[in-house]
Amino acid sequence: MRLLTSAAALAAALILPVATRAAEAPVQVTLDASKPGAVIDRHVFGQFAEHLGSGIYGGIWVGKESTIPNTRGIRNDVVGALKALKVPNVRWPGGCFADEYNWRRGVGPERKAAVNSNWGGVVEPNTFGTDEFMDFAQQIGTEAYVSVNLGSGTAQEAAEWLEYMTSSTDDALGAERAKNGHPEPYKVAILGLGNESWDCGGAMSPDFYVSEMKRFARFVHNYNSAQPMKRVAVGPNGADTSYTEAVMKAWKGHSWAWDIEGLSLHSYSTGGWPPHLSGTGFDEKDYAVLLKEAIGMDGLIKTHSAIMDRYDPEKKVALVVDEWGAWLAPAPGSNPGFLVQQNSQRDAVLAALTLNIFARHADRVRMANIAQMVNVLQAMILTDKDKMLLTPTYHVFHMYVPFQDATFVPLTFDAGAYATNGVTLPRVDAVAARDKAGKVWIAVTNIDPKSPATFSVSLAGVKATKASGQTLSAPKVDSVNTFDAPNTVVPKALSAKVAGGKLTVTVAPASVTVLGLD
**Full DSSP string of 126-163:** --S-HHHHHHHHHHHT-EEEEEE--SSS-HHHHHHHHH
C-alpha dist (Å) from residue 138 to 74, 84, 121, 187, 286: 11, 14, 30, 10, 40
Q: Is residue 450 part of a domain?
A: no
Which pTM does this prediction carry? 0.94
**Cα separation, 420 vs 162, whole angstroms:** 52
Q: Is residue 314 part of a domain?
A: yes
Q: Is residue 513 part of a domain?
A: no
**Cα separation, 409 vs 466, whole angstroms:** 18
Please say whether the beta carbons of 376 and 50 come within 8 A.
yes
Query: What CATH code is carried by the domain that includes residue 122?
Result: 3.20.20.80
In the prediction, which pLDDT does 461 show?
84
Q: Is residue 10 part of a domain?
A: no
Report the sign of the C-alpha dihedral through residues 158, 315, 299, 306, in that order. Answer: positive
Q: Output DSSP code: residue 51.
A: S
Helix, strand, or coil here: 174? helix
Where in the sequence numbering do the catalytic residues fall?
196, 323
Q: Output DSSP code: residue 39.
A: B
Nearest to 150 by CA among 90, 105, 217, 245: 217
Q: Is residue 323 part of a domain?
A: yes
**Cα separation, 423 vs 448, whole angstroms:** 12
Report the chain's C-alpha Rg in angstroms.
23
* Domain range for 240: 27-411
**Cα separation, 216 vs 148, whole angstroms:** 9
Structural domain count, the chain: 1
Please say whether the beta carbons of 27 and 126 come within 8 A.
no
> Low-confidence residues of the chain, pLDDT below 70?
1-23
**Cα separation, 78 vs 75, whole angstroms:** 6
First to last CA, the chain: 42
Partners of 367 in the beta sheet? Answer: 320
Q: Is residue 237 part of a domain?
A: yes
**Cα separation, 383 vs 401, whole angstroms:** 23
Per-residue DSSP letters for 74-98? EEHHHHHHHHHTT--EEEES-SGGG
Q: Output DSSP code: residue 491.
A: -
Q: Output DSSP code: residue 278.
A: -
DSSP-H helix ranges across 184-326: 206-219, 242-252, 284-295, 297-311
Q: Is residue 268 part of a domain?
A: yes
In the prediction, which pLDDT does 1 show?
53
C-alpha dist (Å) from residue 373 to 23, 54, 156, 164, 296: 36, 11, 30, 26, 23
**Cα separation, 22 vs 59, whole angstroms:** 42
Q: Please report, for the chain, how many H helices and E strands are present, in that order.
A: 10, 26
C-alpha dist (Å) from residue 448 to 103, 294, 307, 325, 511: 47, 15, 34, 20, 9
Q: Is residue 468 part of a domain?
A: no
